[in-house]
Homo-oligomer: A and B are copies of this chain.
Amino acid sequence: MNAILLISCPDRKGIVYTVTDFIFKNNGNILDADQHIDDQSNIFFMRLEWSLVDFGLGKDDIIPAFSAIAERFCMQWSIVFSDQTPNLAIYVSRHLHCLQDLLARYQSGQLRCHIPLIISNHKEAERIARLSDMDYFYVPITPDNKIEQEQRQTDILAKYRIDVIVLARYHQIFTGEFVARHENKMINIHHSFLPAFVGKKPYNQAYEKGVKLIGATSHYVTGQLDQGPIIEQDTVRISHRDALTDLVRKGEDLEKVVLGRAVRFHLERKVLVYNNKTVVFD
């Protein structure tokens, strides 16, 4: 079993020394370490993974023991253990390519999580859920039932003890309360190179504008539409020879890869959020 420590705090002398001293004195073996200092905000970030084989502290004693260090350096921090597998729920509307791609990655063992359920405001995904032995909840949204349906979703998520929500082309906007409850835990894929082409029909917007590349962006959902911290992006070249349907086809291939990477980064605890942007220790 391994432990993964994530830190962000004001930069000052001795942080790396103090943290590695803690590991070393307890006979830990560092497997992976990455750190970063943001020059402009002077914030220090660290991700440290070490083996608990022969470690001097029991699993329950690690967090209390580290707290003193954390306090001294004013750290925002977390420690998770590799035997904790998060539960992930996928939301989807009618476009199923991201859902299918995530499930293939999941089934091949690429994603370290459990995916027990799919939630949708449409029925197209039901067959895929059934073939994949997943529970499927049809939760249609109208302007009138939005609040109560969101409550229903909250109940479902609680029942399955969901830790992470992935919006795999889910085209409904949540209330601010729902979003706030899942801060930095709800990952969306937007089918443009954000901040360009926010909102509806980004491929149409890109086609109208005449851009020479299109993009896809995966980000944490915040209260402002398509404005949350970006986890991953990519672009692909298009030309005048590409009709709108070609943009969609090329873009969908991007969406799958970009969302797949973002979800993996999140699950492997490689993402730190600050100032509405991210450090990704890939």
Contact = CB atoms under 8 A, between A and B. Distances in A.
Given A97-B108, A240-B38, A213 B233 contact: yes
Contacts of A243: 39
Nearest to A23: B17
Indicate how many identical chains form the complex.
Answer: 4
Most chain B CB inside 10 Å of its own CB: which residue of A17, A233, A275:
A17
A172 interface: no
A209 interface: yes
A36 interface: yes
Nearest to A35: B33
B212 A230 contact: yes
A183 B196 CA distance: 26
B29 A13 contact: yes
Interface string A7-46: 0000001101100110110011111111111111000010
Contacts of A32: 37
Given A193-B196, A195-B196, A210-B229, A240 B29 contact: no
Given A13-B27, A17-B24, A196-B195, A239 B33 contact: no
A253 B244 contact: no
A30 B17 CA distance: 10
Given A16-B20, A193-B193, A282-B241, A104 B108 contact: no
A234 interface: yes
Interface of A: prevailing SS: mixed
A251 interface: no
Interface residues of A, number: 67
Given A17-B24, A213-B234, A36 B240 contact: yes
A87 interface: no
Contacts of A30: 13, 16
B230 A278 contact: no
A253 B249 contact: no
Interface of A: 13-14, 16-17, 20-21, 23-24, 27-40, 45, 96-97, 100-101, 104, 108, 110, 131, 193-197, 207-213, 215, 229-230, 232-235, 237, 239-241, 243-244, 249, 253, 257, 260, 275-280, 282
9 contacts: A13-B30, A17-B20, A36-B241, A40-B244, A97-B108, A210-B275, A211-B230, A211-B233, A212-B232
- Please list the 7 inter-chain residue pairs (A to B) with the smallest Cβ-Cβ separation, ordered nearest first: A210-B277, A17-B24, A196-B196, A17-B20, A212-B233, A240-B279, A16-B20
Given A17-B24, A195-B211, A237-B237, 4 more contacts: A32-B37, A40-B207, A194-B196, A212-B234
